Structure 1
Amino acid sequence: MLLGDMLREFYFAQFGVTVDEIQERMLKPDPDGTDTERAAILSTIHFLGSVLQRGEIASFARPFGGGVPISMPSSSWELDDFEARFATSAVNPHDWWGPAERGTHWVFVDEAGYEAFWKEWCKPVIFADDPVTDQLAVNNFAAAIDHPRSTILRLPEVVKRTGLSKSTIYAKIANRTFPAQILLGSRTSGWQDEHVQSWIRNPT
């Protein structure tokens, strides 16, 4: 699976929308920092980049035009900013940390590893809002995955409890000053109540 395809698939699952122009949006500067969609994309990029950095999903580099792929060490993901690599899905194995625009290889991730990671994150939960409808989504995963149940908040409830706007929440996620939402299914995501409560007690 190409790195950019993993981002698109994960982003779609998190926010329930397609992102046909995701690479273009990532490469454009955001002068005022209030672009909600861009903040959400950056939050997703940072999360997935951290997963790859920890080696939870294997990654590979394959030469442009085809050839034998090589394994990417977890150290190759020790980047200050993951954005350019996800935007281009490219890298130069002779200079892992160099500009992505000078890449010589495509970046792929292990699809089986990604699917296993996905399954781990699809936790059965109890929703704080609209429990009857949302429980149907939960039941799709409850039989296959054994995780403790926890209360999950949807975005409107998070806005209500924190007093923050949607754009501010996503901007704070991108800046790592607010808890990130968790993936629950193909089009479902939310925030763990205890994480939001912890932030309310000690906002950053």
Structure 2
Amino acid sequence: MRTDAAQVLDSAIPVLAKDRGASMQVIATRAGISRATLTRMFPTRQLLVQAMAAKILDDCDRALTRAETVTGFTDQILAGLVAEYRPFAQLWNLVYVETDVLGAPEATERAEDIFARTVALLAAGQHAGVLRTDMPPTWLASTFCGLAETAWELTLEGHMGTRQAPDFITTVLLHGLGTPAAVAPGAR
């Protein structure tokens, strides 16, 4: 039985992502704990959802901090960021849409800061010549988060493997949706 709050949150986040109306009983059952254990940790559904949001924001912050501490944007920075795509997927999937988080000033501020840092990091990738420069960095950051969300949902539904997701995200970020011949230098 899981009794560590971080483990419980890791198990509960996908439940809420797939079923926005999931009750505390449903979340507890799918997380593999009793409802009593869940309510001891998080007395209300609102507190549970807010704890999920805080964990997601903390995870995004850690991933960005690791990337930001490296001097100069490289392929390895992009690979590291993409390898940690799940919290960015969860940011878009839960933090931006869950009613118990929406409008909470601290969560909103943190989410906006994380997105601004993601934009700045990808702008650095453009400046370094790693990422395309014909699109605004806000578009690239939104695309990354959108691809992360799609990959995470597909892994939750069993349509793709968890090890495939980072490779697929990177391929689309660096090469778009065209065939390899269509994205060759000079091709349009």
TM-score between the two structures when normalised by the length of structure 2: 0.27
Structure 1 or 2: more helix by fraction? 2
Greater RCO, CA 8 A, separation 6+: 1
Structure 1 or 2: more strand by fraction? 1
TM-score between the two structures when normalised by the length of structure 1: 0.25
